[in-house]
């Protein structure tokens, strides 16, 4: 329906928005003849429509009155030829919408505006709270300067000290491993040597007896066995003279407490945070006092913002909400009344339509063309009566309806052309922006701005959801950068820590005595392990069974039983010794061999481990002697820069938040747009649609009346039939007139020719 209404109103008022005329009328407040003339010229389209409406209002009851008088006086007699006509039933608008915006919708709009205003304040409070939180973060970091800065210094030293401590731990493990293997070696030798000495003594005794037997005169071929006696010995003394030197060096290295030196260095490394805390205690206290001053300064950044304006806006909005709430029952009541009035008017129009419809329906259903008009059926007669009832009702109410249409047309039409249409295309905002139109209203002057700020610019920026800082050019009245300039305080904090001298007492990782013992330990690692293994192999290679078998063979050749028994006994003694070697000596020899090999592997690592210790410890000691002060200074600078960066990041966030995020005024523009939608699209468009529909209904009542009157004659039962009088007289023809013979038949009166 809106396009039809807009098209009609644009036709009635094709002229553009009279901005200049309205400005002159509002400013001058002097409605002289020229101004009235221009107003009438602008409203010419409306005036024409008003004239038509007034003419309708005057003529319709007048014609109805004349029609009624004629009917009552029975002077409305028609001798017209009855024929077939068509009835046009105008379309009536039977739907009437609620033309008013609900109070709840208006309250919601105002509530959104209040919420937007409160959000601005909350965002500013958030900025203030964040400033306190930021200072608290730096304060906590300064209170924890020991662990934090100490950790940084430890990280700076870790690359050199950790390898040194690890190398000391590794050489200590090598010393312990060497000591353990030497203990195993000594333990095995303590078990092995007594048993080996006993077997050597037994073997020597058996050898002597064999030698005596072989030298007996009665011993046959015994001299050939004398070379076998050389095999009857346990080679190898299992004496390791280098072991004592290594044992002595290991004992001295253990007594030097190499691992204790490493633990001492680690304790020094772990104590750095406590030393930093003690050295910076006074500087931290001074910095904390400066932080409190800085916190107060940052918290005051938002105090210069014109937040009081928000309170002046919020209070009237609350008052308007309260007023709307108070009159809400009346608005709802008036809405119900307007709905009821619209429904009644629509029903009255519908009544005319029903009368016409029933007249047409009953008239057609009951009409018989062959019936005499005085003998028409009751159905047909009812149809005619319905038509005449519709005509009478139309005359009664049409002028009242047109009066309503005229009033609504003047109000709704002008509201659309002078308010809604320019509101939609922003011409209304341009009108409000006209300087001097609203007395004492100037945004730029109210905000002390150099820029010419207009409501149109504000609305346009708010449609783009820009922040208030950009929309109202607050940079011209509030120097945010100077307020956020806290370099004075940060410089003082920086200077305070720049003057701090953190003295970390140096240590000697390895004393000269320990280094000397490690050198001795490394030098003693060159044992002759091949000689030791050879001695073990010599002992383990002893085989007495072959000699015993030779003695058994020799005993079989003897004729002397005593010598024979002697040789067999000596062979068995050798086997017994061999059995003891296998069962008692060989396991210990295997264990001894394993221990020696393990000791050889450990000893091969001693030199490299000691050299690695000297290299890593030397480098770490140089770092402690020459670079630790620079490391402390560098890491202290990193720590302070990190704290100052927290402020820089926060201040950048504050600047960005205030200038780009606080008070994005999209909700305000949305409230204006929603108000325009409620006023124009809901209220005015509904109102205009109603009067346009009702007006067209009134226009269609005119042909409805004409057709109803015409058709009613053919459906109603007549009192008299249509007759033609014939007095049987002959008219004298005019000169030179000739009558047609066929027309004189049947006594009909001829027409003029």
Q: What is the band of 748 on the pLDDT scale with cuts at 50, 70, 90?
A: very low
Q: What is the mean pLDDT of residues 72-77?
A: 53
CA pair distance 566, 214, nearest whole angstrom: 10
What spatial distance separates the first Cα and last Cα of the chain, rounded to whole Å? 58
Q: How far is CA 267 from CA 61, 261, 263, 523, in A?
A: 116, 10, 6, 30
pLDDT tens column, 420-451: 888 888 888 888 877 767 766 676 776 667 77
Quick one: pLDDT at residue 520? 82
Q: Is the four-CA dihedral 351, 352, 355, 361 of positive or negative sign?
A: negative
Quick one: pLDDT at residue 48? 92
40's tokens: 């009438």
pLDDT tens column, 636-674: 888 888 888 887 888 888 888 888 888 888 888 888 888
Residue whose C-alpha is closest to residue 253's, from 613, 717, 701, 649: 613
Give the rounded percent of residues in the chain with a pLDDT score beyond 90: 4
Which one has a higher pLDDT value, 621 or 559?
621
* Range of lowest pLDDT (85-94, 152-161, 417-426, 682-691): 85-94
Quick one: pLDDT at residue 304? 63
CA atoms within 13 A on the CB side of 552: 11
Q: How far is CA 55 from CA 22, 362, 403, in A?
A: 30, 34, 11
Residue at token pair 């020899």: 589
Q: What is the mean pLDDT of residues 701-726?
A: 75
Residue at token pair 């205690």: 281
pLDDT tens column, 393-416: 888 888 999 999 999 999 989 998
Residue whose C-alpha is closest to residue 607's, from 668, 527, 522, 529: 522
**DSSP secondary structure of 638-651:** HHHHHHHHHHHHHH
Residue whose C-alpha is closest to residue 291's, from 470, 158, 410, 133: 133
Question: Is the per-residue pLDDT at 70 higher than 70?
Answer: yes
Quick one: pLDDT at residue 540? 67
CA pair distance 238, 196, nearest whole angstrom: 10
CA pair distance 196, 542, nearest whole angstrom: 12
Quick one: pLDDT at residue 49? 92
Residue at token pair 């002390």: 448
* Range of lowest pLDDT (56-65, 323-332, 410-419, 536-545): 536-545
**DSSP secondary structure of 142-182:** HHTHHHHHHHHHHHHHHHHHHHHHHHHHHHHHHHHHHHHHH
Residue whose C-alpha is closest to residue 714's, from 64, 77, 81, 89: 81
CA pair distance 2, 491, nearest whole angstrom: 68
Quick one: pLDDT at residue 301? 67
Q: What is the mean pLDDT of residues 608-633?
A: 84
Which one has a higher pLDDT value, 131 or 269?
269
CA pair distance 577, 199, nearest whole angstrom: 7
Question: Is the per-residue pLDDT at 742 higher than 60?
Answer: no
Task: State if pTM tops 0.85.
Answer: no
Q: Which residues of 160-169 are buried (b: 16+ CB within 10 A; e: fewer)?
A: bbebbbebbb
Question: Is the per-residue pLDDT at 85 higher than 50?
Answer: no
pLDDT tens column, 257-314: 888 877 888 888 888 888 888 878 888 888 888 888 877 777 776 666 666 666 667 7
Which one has a higher pLDDT value, 14 or 85?
14
Q: What is the band of 734 on the pLDDT scale with cuts at 50, 70, 90?
A: very low
Q: What is the mean pLDDT of the chain?
A: 77
Report domain extents, the chain. 145-280+503-660
Question: Is the per-residue pLDDT at 330 higher than 60?
Answer: yes
**DSSP secondary structure of 10-36:** HHH--SPP-HHHHHHHHHH----HHHH
Quick one: pLDDT at residue 323? 78
Q: Report which secondary-structure segment, H or E, holds 358.
A: helix 308-366
Quick one: pLDDT at residue 200? 78
Q: What is the mean pLDDT of residues 582-607?
A: 78
pLDDT tens column, 201-257: 877 788 788 778 777 877 777 777 777 776 666 665 666 666 677 777 787 877 878
Are 692 and 11 a contacting pair, CB within 8 Å? no
- Based on its alpha-carbon atoms, the radius of gyration of the chain, rounded to whole angstroms, reads 64
Q: What distance lies between CA 420 and its chain's CA centroid? A: 39
Residue whose C-alpha is closest to residue 546's, from 234, 229, 202: 229
534 CB neighbour count, 10 Å cutoff: 13
Which residues lie below 8 Å from residue 588, measured CB to CB, with a gap of 6+?
Answer: 188, 191, 192, 195
CA pair distance 452, 445, nearest whole angstrom: 9
**At 445, is the secondary structure helix, strand, or coil?**
helix
Q: What is the mean pLDDT of residues 527-556?
A: 72
Q: What is the mean pLDDT of residues 589-612?
A: 80
Q: Is the four-CA dihedral 611, 614, 617, 622 of positive or negative sign?
A: negative
Are 555 and 568 a contacting pair, CB within 8 Å? yes
Question: Is the per-residue pLDDT at 704 higher than 80?
Answer: yes
């Amino acid at each position: 329906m809106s396009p039809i209404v807009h098209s009609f109103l644009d036709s009635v008022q094709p002229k553009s928005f009279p901005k200049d005329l309205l400005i002159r009328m509002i400013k001058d407040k002097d409605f002289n003849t020229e101004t009235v003339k221009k107003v009438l010229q602008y409203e010419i389209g409306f005036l024409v429509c008003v004239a038509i409406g007034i003419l309708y209002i005057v003529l319709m009851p007048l014609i109805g009155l004349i029609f009624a008088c004629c009917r009552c006086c029975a002077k409305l007699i028609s001798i017209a030829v009855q024929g077939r006509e068509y009835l046009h039933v105008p379309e009536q608008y039977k739907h009437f919408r609620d033309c008013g915006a609900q109070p709840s919708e208006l309250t919601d709009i105002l509530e959104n505006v209040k919420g937007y205003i409160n959000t601005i304040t909350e965002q500013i409070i958030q900025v203030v709270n964040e400033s306190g939180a930021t200072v608290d973060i730096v304060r906590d970091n300064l209170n924890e300067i020991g662990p934090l800065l100490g950790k940084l210094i430890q990280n700076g030293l870790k690359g050199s000290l950790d390898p040194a401590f690890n190398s000391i731990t590794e050489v200590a493990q090598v010393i312990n491993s060497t000591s353990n293997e030497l203990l195993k070696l000594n333990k095995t030798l303590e078990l092995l040597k007594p048993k080996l000495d006993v077997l050597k003594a037994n073997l020597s005794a058996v050898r002597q007896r064999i030698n005596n037997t072989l030298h007996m005169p009665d011993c046959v071929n015994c001299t050939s066995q004398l070379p076998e006696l050389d095999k009857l010995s346990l080679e190898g003394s299992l004496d390791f003279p280098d072991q004592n030197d290594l044992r002595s060096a290991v004992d001295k290295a253990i007594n030097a407490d190499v691992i204790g030196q490493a633990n001492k260095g680690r304790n020094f490394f772990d104590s750095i945070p406590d030393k930093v805390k003690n050295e910076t205690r006074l500087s931290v206290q001074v910095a904390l006092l400066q932080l409190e001053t800085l916190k107060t300064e940052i918290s005051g950044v938002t105090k210069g913002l014109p937040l009081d304006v928000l309170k002046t806006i919020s209070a009237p909005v609350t008052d308007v909400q309260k007023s709307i709430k108070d009159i809400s029952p009346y608005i709802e009541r008036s809405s119900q009344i307007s709905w009821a009035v619209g429904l009644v008017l629509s029903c009255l129009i519908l009544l005319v339509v029903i009368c016409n419809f029933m007249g047409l329906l009953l008239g057609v259903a009951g009409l018989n063309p062959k019936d005499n008009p005085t003998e028409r059926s009751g159905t047909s007669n009812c149809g005619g009566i319905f038509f005449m009832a519709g005509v009478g009702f139309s005359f009664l109410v049409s002028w009242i309806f047109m009066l309503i249409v005229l009033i609504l047309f003047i109000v709704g039409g002008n509201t659309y052309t002078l308010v809604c249409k320019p509101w939609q295309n922003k011409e209304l905002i341009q009108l409000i922006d006209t300087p001097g139109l609203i007395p004492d209203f100037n945004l730029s002057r109210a905000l002390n701005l150099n820029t010419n700020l207009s409501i149109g610019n504000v609305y346009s920026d708010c449609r783009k959801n820009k922040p208030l800082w950009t929309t109202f050019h607050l940079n011209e009245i509030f120097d945010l950068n100077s307020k956020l300039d806290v370099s004075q305080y940060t410089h003082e904090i920086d200077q305070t820590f720049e003057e701090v001298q953190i003295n970390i007492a140096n240590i000697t990782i390895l004393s000269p005595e320990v280094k000397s013992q490690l050198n001795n330990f490394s030098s003693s690692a060159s044992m002759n392990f091949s000689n030791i293994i050879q001695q073990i192999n010599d002992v383990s290679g002893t085989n007495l069974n072959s000699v015993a078998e030779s003695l058994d063979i020799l005993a079989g050749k003897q004729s002397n039983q005593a010598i024979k028994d002697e040789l067999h006994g000596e062979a068995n003694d050798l086997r017994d010794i061999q059995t003891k070697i296998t069962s008692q000596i060989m396991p210990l020899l295997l264990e001894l061999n394993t221990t020696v090999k393990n000791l050889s592997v450990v000893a091969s690592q001693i030199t490299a481990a000691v050299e690695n210790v000297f290299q890593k410890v030397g480098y770490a000691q140089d770092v402690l002697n020459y670079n630790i002060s620079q490391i402390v200074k560098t890491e202290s600078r990193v720590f302070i820069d990190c704290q100052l960066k927290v402020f820089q990041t926060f201040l950048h966030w504050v600047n960005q938040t205030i200038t780009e995020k606080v008070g994005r005024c999209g909700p305000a523009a949305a409230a204006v747009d929603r108000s325009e939608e409620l006023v124009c699209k809901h209220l005015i468009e509904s109102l205009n649609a109603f009067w346009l529909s009702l007006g067209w209904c009134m226009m269609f009542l005119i042909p409805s009346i004409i057709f109803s009157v015409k058709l009613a004659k053919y459906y109603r039962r007549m009192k008299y039939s249509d007759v033609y009088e014939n007095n049987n007289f002959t008219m004298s023809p005019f000169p030179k007139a000739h009558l047609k013979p066929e027309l004189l038949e049947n006594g009909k009166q001829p027409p003029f020719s």
